[in-house]
Amino acid sequence: MESRVATRKIDTPDGGVLAVETSGDPSGRPVFLLHGTPGSRVGPAPRGAVLARMGVRLISFDRPGYGESTRLPGRDVAAAAADVTTIADALGLDRFAVVGRSGGGPHALACAALLPERVLRAATQVSLAPRHADGLDWFDGMTPSNERAYRQAELGPPRISGPFQVRSRVIRRDPAQLIRNLVPELSTPDRTVVADIGIRRMLHSTYRQAFRYGADGWIDDVLAFIADWGFTVDTIGVPVRIWHGADDKFSPVGHSSWLADHIPGAQLYLEPGAAHFGSLKEMTGAIRWAAHA
């Protein structure tokens, strides 16, 4: 099966644009891949030939404010459902699956909750749970840098906007800088994953694209995660698969455990000896599961 990669910009009802990339089998089963935070449409994903063999048409896009997608100030997590609807309509897709890694996880769950007539399956990897999830200590086990950023964000957008913009300019010039900054907080499993040259190149590409025009998408993601998501996960009625590395410190494993307890019928997979970036190696499995509804 021949693999094709196509990039296009799709107009949104509010006058903006979404930068979209499709890869794999053009006539395959459609799966939306929602990127991490920070991230972009060119982030880590299975090779096109692998997708084609699976019979999958993978659709990824820059969330508003990232890469070449127009910013949507004040967006909440639920806004992802409208973006996915706009793209699916433009591509002529009726039903599809969604997969979200890290910061893409909450956005994939938004699609599952708000588009029950269109989403067949939803899979998350190392996702966050809602900020004020009942019974969850949201910061328990989280790396100091992530906790610090979220607590600063809770003091208001001005507290993170300037620092994030400065960091984004540094990372745009040298995408490897973000990984170097993370290394002191990486667990042994994550250090092993990011030592792989191929994975480093994928991460460099996604960061370069993410910050092409600044840090707006990154800022808006963080603000959306700590605000009301615009839906509740207990309303999700489609099959949901939740994966988390048991040693994850960036998105603590308690978040996925909470999601599994509150999403009806959700399947939880906790992988011993894996952490946050272990999701990159597990992604093919998540996409395969999502596609075979």
Residue 2 reports pLDDT greater than 70:
no
Nearest CA to 95 out of 115, 124, 125, 123 is that of 115
The residue-averaged pLDDT of 129-133 equals 98
Structural domain boundaries of the chain? Answer: 6-291
pLDDT at res. 6: 86
Residue 1 reports pLDDT greater than 60:
no
Average pLDDT, the chain: 95
**Residue 239 to residue 66: CA distance in whole angstroms:** 29
Q: Which residue pairs, CB below 8 angstroms and at least 24 apart, start in 82-86?
A: 82/13, 83/12, 83/18, 84/32, 84/111, 84/115, 85/115, 85/118, 86/10, 86/12, 86/13, 86/18
The residue-averaged pLDDT of 57-72 equals 98
Residue 103 reports pLDDT greater than 80:
yes
pLDDT at res. 182: 82
Tell me the pLDDT tens digit for each residue of 232-252: 999 999 999 999 999 999 999
The residue-averaged pLDDT of 13-38 equals 97
Tell me the pLDDT tens digit for each residue of 134-163: 999 999 999 999 999 999 999 999 999 999
Share of the chain above pLDDT 90, in %: 90
With cut-offs at 50, 70 and 90, classify the pLDDT of residue 184.
confident
| Superfamily name and number for 6-291 | Alpha/Beta hydrolase fold, catalytic domain (3.40.50.1820)
Supply the DSSP symbol for 276.
Answer: T
The residue-averaged pLDDT of 74-98 equals 98
**Residue 239 to residue 112: CA distance in whole angstroms:** 9
Judged by average pLDDT, the poorest of 114-123, 170-179, 210-219, 246-255 is 170-179
Residue 192 reports pLDDT greater than 80:
yes
**Residue 30 to residue 196: CA distance in whole angstroms:** 29
Tell me the pLDDT tens digit for each residue of 28-38: 999 999 999 99
pLDDT at res. 179: 84
pLDDT at res. 156: 94
Contact criterion met (CB below 8 Å) for 247 and 187: yes
Return the number of other C-beta atoms located less than 10 Å from residue 253's C-beta: 21
Residue 88 reports pLDDT greater than 60:
yes
141: left (phi over 0), alpha (psi -120 to 50) or beta: left
The two beta strands, 17-24 and 56-61, are antiparallel
The residue-averaged pLDDT of 169-179 equals 88
Q: How far is CA 128 from CA 25, 53, 107, 205, in A?
A: 31, 31, 10, 24
The residue-averaged pLDDT of 82-86 equals 98
pLDDT at res. 3: 65
